[in-house]
């Protein structure tokens, strides 16, 4: 049953996954008792599922209960306790309840830093987790140092050509990418990709590194290099997740936007429509009626020479993504960003600003103070075009 629940969740068939996660918890409570570690594990997993579906109140109750039980079973300084502290902290951060999230982050960091005093594999994991937590709080100097320490341990234990080393390289590269330190990020991404190709082949882990590299190339207007990488990512997503999955739809949209930026609207529209069709099928899997989607549910055809039709396609993609995946989801944020950039290019600055701010707010709920570098770059460009004074601190706080 657990394997089936995971399978439905990975396939984004949430309406089928939810009753299974609830049933697993009920069975374990009855057979093992509330104080058994496996029961608490199921409680935490149901909490994570609810958080992912926007059921924040139930997620909070489940996380709090699981945290209390883990403190009683394992003690206040056990890594399993730290895991629950982080889950609850991230939920509060998503809700912008920073005053509640901060002490939970601090507690978990103390636990991980205590565990990371040795130079072992487990220490590398805890260093990586600590780096991620500092990054989520916007403490970038501490995060960078911990990322570098984690990488040093992985290289010493596994060697420079191991996939575990590649994972640490990719984490550090993503960190630099988010800071727009492209000269540091590019060689790390390239090295990680080369290691993955040699050790594991084209797997989903590799797609993350390829995506970071593609985004940098796109921002540098190296469109052919970016296109090759986006096509590779799409092939990996289709093979790993299948054609009907948000990752696949997101990859289609990213490639479409690349063509749109080059004003190759015919190719862009074809890919956007394919992404739209994928989101439609995701909605059908969730038993959500297309009639609920704004802008109407009738099938329409885009004429490549009409910007208004391309705008309609962007609007429909955003609406269907919000219905299929929720308001706080990476694909939703990406589509908000694409619509903002579309208005920006058309010189409709007020509309562009509104969607840039929505995109930034959505990323804030997912990432805290971090923001995608390219989104901030475009938003800054818009403010300059509007003759606005740019307050960097305010920009990152939005």
**Residue-wise pLDDT tens digits, 315-328:** 877 887 777 677 87
CB 232 within 8 A of CB 209: no
d(CA 65, CA 50): 14
Model confidence at 392: pLDDT above 60 = no
Model confidence at 293: pLDDT above 60 = no
Q: Tell me the Ramachandran region of residue 372: left when phi exceeds 0, alpha when psi lies from -120 to 50, beta otherwise.
A: beta
Q: Considering the entire predicted model, what is its pTM?
A: 0.66
pLDDT tens sequence across 109-128:
788 877 766 666 677 877 88
Residue 290 is given by DSSP the state: G
d(CA 359, CA 375): 8
- Say whether 244 sits in a helix, a strand or coil: coil
d(CA 254, CA 208): 13
If one looks up domain 1-115 in CATH, what number appears?
1.25.40.10
pLDDT tens sequence across 47-75:
999 888 778 889 999 999 999 999 999 99
Q: Is the alpha carbon torsion for 160, 166, 168, 169 positive or negative?
A: positive
333: Cα within 13 Å, side-chain hemisphere: 16
The CA R_g of the chain, rounded to the nearest whole Å, is 22
pLDDT at res. 40? 94
Model confidence at 133: pLDDT above 90 = no
Q: For residues 325 and 363, which has the higher predicted lDDT (pLDDT)?
A: 363
User: C-alpha distances in angstroms, 71 versus 32, 126, 130, 138?
Assistant: 18, 19, 20, 28
32 CB contacts (<8 Å, ≥6 apart)? Answer: 38, 39
* Residue 298 pLDDT grade (very low, low, confident, very high; cuts 50, 70, 90): very low
In 3D, which of 136, 128, 79 has the Cα closest to residue 105? 136
pLDDT at res. 112? 80
**Range with the poorest average pLDDT among 51-60, 94-103, 276-285, 293-302:** 293-302
Instruction: Write out the DSSP string of 271-282.
Output: HHHHHHHHHHHH
* Residue 212 pLDDT grade (very low, low, confident, very high; cuts 50, 70, 90): very high
d(CA 12, CA 325): 9
């Amino acid at each position: 049953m657990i394997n089936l629940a995971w399978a439905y969740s990975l396939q984004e068939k949430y309406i089928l996954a939810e009753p299974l996660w609830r049933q697993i918890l009920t069975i374990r409570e009855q057979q093992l008792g509330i104080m058994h570690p496996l029961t608490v594990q199921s409680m935490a997993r149901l909490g994570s599922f609810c958080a992912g579906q926007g059921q924040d109140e139930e997620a909070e109750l489940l996380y709090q209960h699981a945290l209390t039980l883990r403190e009683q079973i394992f003690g206040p300084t056990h890594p399993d306790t730290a895991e629950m502290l982080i889950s609850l902290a991230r939920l509060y951060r998503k809700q912008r309840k920073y005053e509640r999230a901060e002490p939970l982050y601090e507690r978990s960091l103390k636990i991980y830093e205590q565990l990371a005093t040795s130079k072992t594999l487990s220490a590398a994991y805890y260093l990586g987790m600590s780096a991620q937590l500092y990054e989520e709080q916007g403490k970038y100097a501490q995060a960078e140092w911990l990322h570098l320490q984690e990488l040093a341990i992985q290289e010493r234990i596994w060697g420079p050509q191991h996939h575990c080393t590649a994972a640490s390289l990719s984490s550090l590269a993503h960190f630099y990418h988010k800071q727009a330190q492209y000269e540091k990020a590019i060689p790390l991404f390239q090295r990680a990709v080369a290691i993955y190709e040699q050790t594991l082949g084209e797997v989903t882990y590799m797609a993350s590194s390829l995506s970071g590299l593609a985004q940098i190339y796109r921002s540098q207007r190296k469109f052919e290099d970016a296109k090759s990488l986006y096509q590779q990512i799409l092939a990996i997503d289709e093979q790993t997740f299948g054609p009907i999955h948000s990752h696949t739809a997101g990859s289609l949209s990213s490639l479409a936007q690349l063509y749109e930026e080059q004003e190759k609207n015919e190719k862009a529209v074809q890919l956007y429509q394919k992404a739209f069709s994928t989101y439609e099928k995701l909605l059908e899997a969730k038993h959500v009626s297309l009639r609920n989607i704004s802008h109407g549910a009738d099938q329409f055809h885009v004429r490549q020479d009409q910007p208004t039709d391309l705008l309609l396609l962007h609007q429909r993609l955003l609406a269907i993504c919000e219905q299929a995946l929720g308001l706080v989801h990476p694909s939703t944020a990406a589509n908000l960003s694409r619509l903002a950039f579309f208005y920006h290019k058309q010189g409709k600055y007020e509309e562009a600003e509104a969607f840039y701010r929505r995109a930034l707010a959505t990323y804030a709920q997912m990432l805290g103070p971090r923001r995608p570098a390219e989104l901030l770059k475009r938003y800054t460009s818009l403010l300059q075009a509007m003759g606005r004074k740019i307050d960097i601190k305010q920009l990152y706080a939005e």
